[in-house]
Amino acid sequence: MSKNISEKLETFLDGFKAKDLTKDKKDVYAIPMTATVEETLKELNKKNILSMPVIDKKKNKYVGIVSISDIVIATCFNPCFAKFAKGKEAIDSLKREDMAKIVEASVLKSPVSDLVGMTEETKNLWVFDEEEKLGKLAEFFSQGVHRALIKRLKGSPCLVSQTDFVKFIATQIKESKNKDIVEFLKQPLDKLGNVHKGKSVVSVREDETALTGFRRLLQWQSFRDWNLAALPIVDKKGAIIGNLSESDLRGLNENRLLDVLFVVPMYMKTFYGEMRKPETITADCSFMDALDKLIDCKVHRLWIVDNDKKPIGVFSLSDVISQFTTFAWSHLKAMEDIVD
């Protein structure tokens, strides 16, 4: 890639501000710090969101933000599940008294404030003024931050997400008169560095439990996929058949807590009635076509697969945003060093 194109991409967002992402955004919804984790999961599921600020209503002050990542860690790495992470034999020996102990020891009845800051992203509540340059937000979003609080001059603050950012970028690309950038983004993903040969994609097999999948998701996030929040579900041949995401823990309650001990396909069916088909693309898909599919399918990632439907990479919202920051290029260079 020429230095000229690199500079054009890195300055593509110049002139835009955070307020350009807040048009038609509703006021932020916050969960009281005294709410339980179970109540928080219910709200996340009801509103179809992945995080929300936590507020101290007595002081009328935000104390932080809680995300589904925090809840996955607190739930799936709870000591009560330790022996069941070992596999089928431990689960088969599960007794009624064990079930009661698991429910009793779970975090579901704990105040959500206990979970604030369990992940790197939620240790800080990312807050920006609406006049902040959009390029600065892009640097944060491209490195794994999924949402930020924007303070508005008029009205209450609102949350903007990676999805909001990517939709804005897509609109600007289509309206752009810069032919060099448009032509560059018509290139296939394998030429833009989204497929790394020799680097396997971490996955969860169809005969493994959802608990195993959630734990692996948090244990094996690579540098490139930091906080990617999902794993491909593969069959015995390694072909992708589904997608396990942190968001699949939303809606979990005391009555369904032990569902995480089901094999992944059964777990997914208990929540959705079926194993949802994963959204995939091939390595020769262009950046622009992949971007359009992300938005049209309303997903956070697309799995890149080979001719045998085996996952060989991923194209996420973070990848889109990082393409327009300096982070993208150092990011890819670091990955080349790791793979080599």
pTM for the full predicted model = 0.86
The tens place of each residue's pLDDT in the chain, 340 residues long, gives 555 788 888 889 999 999 999 988 888 889 999 999 999 999 999 988 888 889 999 998 888 889 898 998 899 888 888 777 655 665 666 777 777 888 888 899 999 999 988 877 777 778 899 999 999 999 888 877 888 889 998 888 888 999 999 999 999 999 988 888 989 999 999 888 777 666 678 899 999 999 999 998 887 554 344 446 899 999 999 999 999 999 999 988 888 888 898 999 999 998 888 888 999 999 999 999 999 999 999 999 999 999 999 999 899 998 899 899 876 543 444 344 333 3
pLDDT at 1: 52
pLDDT at 228: 61
β-bridge pairing 158-161 and 147-151? antiparallel
Q: Is 227 helix (H, G, I), strand (E, B) or coil?
A: coil
Q: Is 331 helix (H, G, I), strand (E, B) or coil?
A: helix
> Is domain 3-339 in CATH 3.10.580.10, yes or no?
yes
β-bridge pairing 51-56 and 61-67? antiparallel
Query: If we measure between CA atoms, which residue out of 56, 74, 75, 52 comes closest to residue 65?
Result: 52
Q: Which two tokens stand for residue 143?
A: 């490195």
Contact 213, 233 (CB under 8 A): yes
Query: If we measure between CA atoms, which residue out of 339, 260, 273, 302 comes closest to residue 76?
Result: 260
Phi and psi at residue 313, in whole multiples of 5°? 175, 180
The end-to-end CA distance of the chain, in Å, is 20
User: Is residue 193 left, alpha or beta, with left meaning phi > 0 and alpha meaning psi from -120 to 50?
Assistant: left
Which amino acid, residue 274? E
Q: What would the DSSP string read from start to end of 26-57?
A: PPPP-EETTSBHHHHHHHHHHHT-SEEEEEET
What is the spatial distance between Cα 9 and Cα 3, in angstroms, rounded to a whole number? 10
pLDDT at 91: 66
Tell me whether residue 223 is exposed, middle or buried, using C-beta atoms within 10 angstroms of its C-beta: 0 to 12, 13 to 18, 19 or more.
Answer: exposed
Contact 250, 244 (CB under 8 A): no
pLDDT at 62: 85
pLDDT at 129: 95
β-bridge pairing 311-316 and 301-305? antiparallel
pLDDT at 333: 42
